Amino acid sequence: MSWKDHLPAVRGKLLRDEPLGPFTWFRVGGPAEVIFLPEDEDDLAAFLKALPADTPLTVLGVGSNTLVRDGGVEGVVIRLGKAFARVEPRGDNRIFAGAAVLDATLAREAGKAGIAGLEFYRGVPGSVGGALVMNAGCYGSETKDVLVEAYALTRTGERLTLSNADLGYSYRKSARAAAEPLIFVGALFEGRPDEPAAIQQRMDEITERREKTQPIREKTGGSTFKNPPGHSSWKLVDEAGWRGKPFSVSGQGGGAMFSPLHSNFLINTGEATAADLEGLGEAVRADVKARFGVDLEWEIKRIGKPG
């Protein structure tokens, strides 16, 4: 008898041996042993309380900066749906957003409510849950600049309210989230008052800038590497000669590539495997280290087993 035959009863959906590629922006990767799509927060909390502590657990957001390896993911993968996609202005230039809300949607709804300061989320390719985990940001602003508090569940289903300070934010990292498995379910943000039209104009400028400089219509995971202190990752990748250079682990085909438009964006041109994409990233890391003595750290989260 498998552990999969003894999962807690739920009101949401439990899917077995479900391919994860369609859940990610790279569109590659093997299956999850089990995916849990909770009906609501109570359903999720009850499931976590009843789930044996030794069952592997992974949270998958919108899949924008996640690479699922070809062998798939052991245990249970949790994916939050529409019950966690509510956006609600709360007055005093504050706005609540569920963890499944797209960052761009949060920016748009804040703008409509006359709340400025969240425009940068228009340029972040992900969801609120992921932004909370990694202090997502762009164009000079980060999650820590606008977050009031976040709401999460622990691995055992305990509900937590965490202040900005509790999360211990630094560049693309939360010390609290790194130290303890947390499943974010929502957050409260605060901006400043401004006219919706002025906010929309700034978001339009961000959109235009992204379309000109980033391969946003490709199968990509956003920024591949964090910027090392004193360096820009895209410049290091470019100067090492990897911009637009096809690559595959087998040496045939070449479906993985660093974008000709932005050399810190790893893309699947159509035929890449997860092994091709990760292999290219590791080849670039080794080359940059050898040439320039700089360590590139993955910003994309890589999960699962090799194929």
Provide the annotated active-site residues: 172, 223, 299
Strands (E) in the chain, as ranges, are 13-19, 31-37, 57-59, 66-68, 73-78, 87-91, 94-98, 115-116, 137-138, 141-142, 147-154, 159-163, 169-170, 173-174, 182-190, 192-193, 219-223, 256-258, 265-268, 301-303
How many angstroms separate the CA atoms of 256 and 276, rounded? 6
Rounded CA separation 44/155 (Å): 10
In a 10 Å sphere around its CB, with 0-12 CB exposed, 13-18 middle and 19+ buried, how is residue 65 labelled?
A: buried
For the record, the structure tokens of 71 come out as 């062998």
Residue type, 174: S
As given in the structure block, the two tokens for residue 165 are 């300070």
Distance CA 119, CA 140 (A): 11
The full length of the chain comes to 307
Pairing of strands 73-78, 301-303: unpaired
Q: Which two tokens stand for residue 81?
A: 């749906």
Tokens standing for 66?
């996640």
Question: How distant, in Å, are the alpha carbons of 53, 97, 281 from that of 80?
Answer: 20, 13, 29
Tracing tokens 């993985």 back to the chain, one arrives at 256
